[in-house]
Amino acid sequence: MSFSTLESLPNEILTDIIEKYINGIDLLRAFSFQLNQRFDSLIIQCQRLRFDFIQCHQDDFRLCMGLLPAYIDKIEELAISEENTPGQVYAFLSFFPSFAVFKRLQTLYFHFDSE
């Protein structure tokens, strides 16, 4: 029996998977430290990314804020939440006071705690 690995997939399929199904937070956490040059290159080539910070913890949020400027022109969907990281919306807005820099942004979602 033959086993396939993620790395055996063609670049076109991997790019499609990254753009449509993988949260940008997971991408940055998994591949941001140049562990795999091919995946780093694929992420840079992607034209559409989405970042869903709703279930994001503070450490991942901090990591993403440091790396997000490199991908800002590719972000189409952005969700920011106070649920797991209190103060996340304010912190995000302090990093990015204007959404004009998000040239491809189509969907923006804010979640505030009701308390």
Q: Which of 19, 73, 82 lies closest to 53 in space, CA to CA? A: 82
pTM of the model as a whole: 0.86
Domain ranges of the chain: 9-111
One digit per residue, the tens of pLDDT, for the chain of length 115 reads 667 787 889 999 999 999 999 999 999 888 876 677 888 888 888 999 999 999 888 899 999 999 999 999 999 999 999 887 888 999 999 999 999 999 999 999 998 776 6
